[in-house]
């Protein structure tokens, strides 16, 4: 939002939820943004899409790092302690603890992204030839009400003149 405002795009925080939404189509997500100015809508959509891809790829790096740490933990724990010993040496236990802490941190940083996911931006938004018309429903309702009133007036006038 700060980047969009720095570029001169007016953003009304109170209406932001009404202006943008995501739509899922199979494995593809479409980002939609509504604005009176089609150029502004396209620029904001591109700005947010670029930022989303950047964040998703950063989270993916954390997920990949978490998988690497898990593989290290698995390789250490797959080797059994020496027979007759009470477990792993203090050095190995300390290393496992450090790896476990790193694993937890990387999983939290990945924000639910798993390493097999791939992200790509398939295209940039272009200005819509049909920009959003806010309040269109109000105009349609007003037109319907005016038409209804005129039809009642015409029907009443028709009866008064004795043609009905």
C-alpha to C-alpha distances, 118 to 28, 111, 134, 153, nearest whole angstrom: 11, 15, 36, 64
Nearest to 21 by CA among 32, 29, 11, 13: 32
With a pLDDT cut of 90, the percent of the chain lying above it is: 21
Residue-wise pLDDT for 28-71, tens only, equals 777 777 777 788 788 888 888 888 889 999 999 999 999 999 99
- The pLDDT score that the predictor gives to residue 12 is 65
Mean pLDDT of the chain: 81
Burial letters for 50-69: b for 16+ Cβ neighbours within 10 Å, e otherwise? eeeeeebeebbebbbbbbeb
Residue 57: its pLDDT value, please? 92
How many whole angstroms separate alpha carbon 15 and alpha carbon 91? 56
Measured between alpha carbons, how far is 11 from 16 in angstroms, rounded to an integer? 7
Averaged pLDDT, 100-111? 93
Q: How far apart are CA 62 and CA 107, in angstroms?
A: 7
**Among candidate residues 53, 67, 66, the one with its CA nearest the CA of residue 118:** 53
- pTM metric for this prediction: 0.62
Lowest mean pLDDT among 24-33, 36-45, 79-88, 120-129: 79-88
Here the tokens at position 94 are 């300390």
d(CA 51, CA 112): 18
What percentage of the chain has pLDDT greater than the value 70? 80
Judged by average pLDDT, the poorest of 14-23, 64-73, 122-131 is: 14-23
- Give the span between the Cα atoms of 87 and 79, in whole angstroms: 11
Looking at residue 65, its pLDDT comes to 95
Longest dimension (CA), the chain: 114
């Amino acid at each position: 939002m700060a980047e969009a405002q720095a570029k001169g795009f007016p953003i009304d925080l109170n209406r932001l939820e009404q202006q943008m939404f995501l739509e899922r189509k199979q494995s593809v997500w479409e980002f939609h943004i509504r604005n009176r100015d089609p150029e502004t809508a396209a620029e904001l959509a591109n700005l947010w899409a670029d930022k989303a891809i950047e964040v998703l790829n950063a989270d993916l790096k954390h997920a990949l790092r978490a998988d690497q740490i898990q593989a290290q933990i698995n390789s250490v724990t797959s080797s059994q302690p020496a027979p007759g010993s009470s477990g792993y040496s203090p050095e190995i236990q300390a290393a496992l603890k450090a790896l476990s802490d790193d694993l937890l941190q990387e999983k939290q940083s990945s924000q639910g992204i798993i390493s097999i996911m791939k992200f790509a931006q398939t295209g940039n938004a272009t200005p819509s030839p049909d920009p959003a018309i806010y309040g269109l429903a109000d105009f349609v309702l007003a037109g319907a009400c005016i038409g209804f009133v005129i039809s009642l007036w015409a029907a009443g006038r028709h009866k008064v003149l004795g043609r009905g």
